[in-house]
Structure 1
Amino acid sequence: MFPPGLSMLWESTEPRSALKKRFDLDSFDEAVSWLTKVLAEAWAIDVQACDRIIISGHNAIAWVRTNRGALVAKWSRDQERFGKFEAIADLIQALHKQGVPVAAPLASVDGQRRVIIGSFSITVQPHIDGEFLDTTADTAVRRAGACLARLHAALATQRDSRLNGFGRHTGTSLDLRRRIETWLQHEDTGMAPAASARLRTHLASLPRIDSQPQLIHNDYRAANVLTSGSEIIAVLDFDEVALDYCVSDLANAFVLLGTRFTNWQPTPARARDALLDGYESVRPLTVLEHQWLHALVLLRGIQAIPPGDDPAGWAAAL
């Protein structure tokens, strides 16, 4: 799934220089030595080998073999988000107790599920051996939709003021109309003027949505959904969890479900249909949610068009 040794998840940066600049570690071996010491002291885990370390922005992920099985250690230097990371670790543990398929963080020797050591925030989770969701596999996609609906039901029961911030697609308002109008007025770069016009027309006729904001995953896509055959065995990466509407999460999944790190392509219409069918088998949308879903999918589709060349056909997918 990922190459051995040190690599970047999606950036073209040289990985060793990124490791030094971002984490002050000179090499893969030095990073493994540092991580081995951290896991021994904070989790009483004996690292036997480290297969790979991947760098993503301010974060790093290591796959390690230990006396407690195959584990994944994640650390971040993004200190402004340390409080949110701690809350996310607690949230994942709560979801695990509710039966949601997640990788529940291991408690440290002093009972923490996210530990701050020096300038890093670190968590350790079990490695789940699966494959990324295949958007051409209708049954798996349908089950991914049902899984998202069950995840929303579980997230609706969770309350944590540390997680009340807006998501990256939410802007600064939970008012869907204001959010879209603000984007159209100030951020639309004119990549798809006909689609933007359709969005304005559709938005003008929409009443206020008849649901309440709650915690959502906010990054539900193939790279974060692991499967075994057609079964969903884990939902990963809750780092973008935010307060928003379930239909906003569903719209984001509609557009980005097929994306994987450096391989970004629109979600096929057949996969969108399967995802929605699975979702509504657990949580049927209201009439207004269907209408807002159409608007939000169009918005996210326009936002996904890259500047310059568009070889994947994002504009054509609108």
Structure 2
Amino acid sequence: MGLSMLWERVEPEQALRERFGFEGFEAVGAWVPGVLAEVWEIEVAGTARMVISDHNAIVWVDTDRGPLVVKWSRAQALFGQLEASARLLRVLDERGVSVAAPLQSTDGRERVVIDGPLGDLSVAVLPEITGDWLDITDEDAVHAAGVCLAELHNALSGYEDDRLPTTNPRSETGLPPLDDDPKQLVHNDFRAANILTQGSKIVGVLDFDEIAWGHRVEDLAYASVYLATRFTGWGPTPPAVRQTLRAGYESVRPLSPAEDERYDDLVRWHEQRCGF
């Protein structure tokens, strides 16, 4: 399937060359096997495809350990945060959340800084999760997504790592503090593009790059407004779908009266902010 951009209207060969220093997809296919063999002791049989998003890349490979995904970033300022996020994925996997836990390198690291053609790259290797993006017309799947978000919040409760962001622009709504719902780590981008399903079952929650501190009801409200969005088709989630998502969430963690009132305010705030 070759090389493509995730959402940018940029020529992918040019982006690959200018952002990462590879002269074509074939060069990536020659570089990745050496890295995986040396650092993870993984034998690569073939490189299927690659997607570029900003200064990040995802490469799908066939290996002696099954289908894997190689993710890297050259945003050096975020290397510490990316390492912390990778470690968090392993913890969430151990706590029963459907995530792709990074494979550890031979020296036990979840993420490794590798010398790339244009400088350091922060690299992680993860199992490929087989599934389809969430279909918001599947009521059972949407309800399951609400359950999954509540369970994710429970799994994140109490987890701390000072390398993860402590500020969250999506919390800056101008609304008064919500004292009865203490802040914790939240996913911060829970929507169809980051939720994989098999039938109506949630089999994977993806992309923890936006994780930050916030109130759980803020995360639920954001998900309620943006659940329908994938990559370029941004638009409001229908009210009936929001209700189903919330019902699934509250089957695990009911909202308090204060959270219930804040939820409605936050939904309106997100709608107005994005012009929905």
TM-score by length of 1: 0.83
Aligned to 2:44: 47
Match of 1:16 among 6, 13, 16: 13
Match of 1:180 among 173, 186, 190: 173
Aligned to 2:244: 274
Match of 1:245 among 189, 212, 215: 215
Inter-partner Cα distance in structure 2 for 1:15 and 1:207: 44
- The equivalences for 1:30-179 within 5 A come to 30-118=27-115, 119-170=120-171, 179=172
What code does the residue aligned with 1:105 have? P
Aligned to 1:7: 4
Unaligned ranges ≥5, structure 2: none
| SS of equivalent residue, structure 1 residue 162 | coil
Task: Give the number of the structure whose alpha-carbon radius of gyration is greater.
Answer: 1
The answer to whether the aligner puts 1:303 opposite 2:262 as a matched pair is no
Unaligned ranges ≥5, structure 1: 171-178, 182-202, 306-313
Aligned CA RMSD, in angstroms, stands at 1.2
| SS of equivalent residue, structure 2 residue 167 | coil
Query: Could you tell me whether the CA contact under 8 Å between 1:72 and 1:127 is conserved in 2?
Result: yes
Inter-partner Cα distance in structure 2 for 1:287 and 1:236: 31
| Residues 286-306 of structure 1: per-residue CA shift (max 9 Å, x gap) | 01101111111111112223x
Query: Could you tell me whether the CA contact under 8 Å between 1:207 and 1:288 is conserved in 2?
Result: no
Percentage of matched positions with identical amino acids: 50
TM-score by length of 2: 0.96
Displacement, 1:164? Answer: 4.1
Match of 1:255 among 225, 229, 250: 225
Detail structure 1 runs of 4+ shifted over 6 Å in the superposition. Answer: none
Task: Say how many residue pairs are matched.
Answer: 272
Inter-partner Cα distance in structure 1 for 2:242 and 2:201: 18
Query: Could you tell me whether the CA contact under 8 Å between 2:165 and 2:211 is conserved in 1?
Result: no
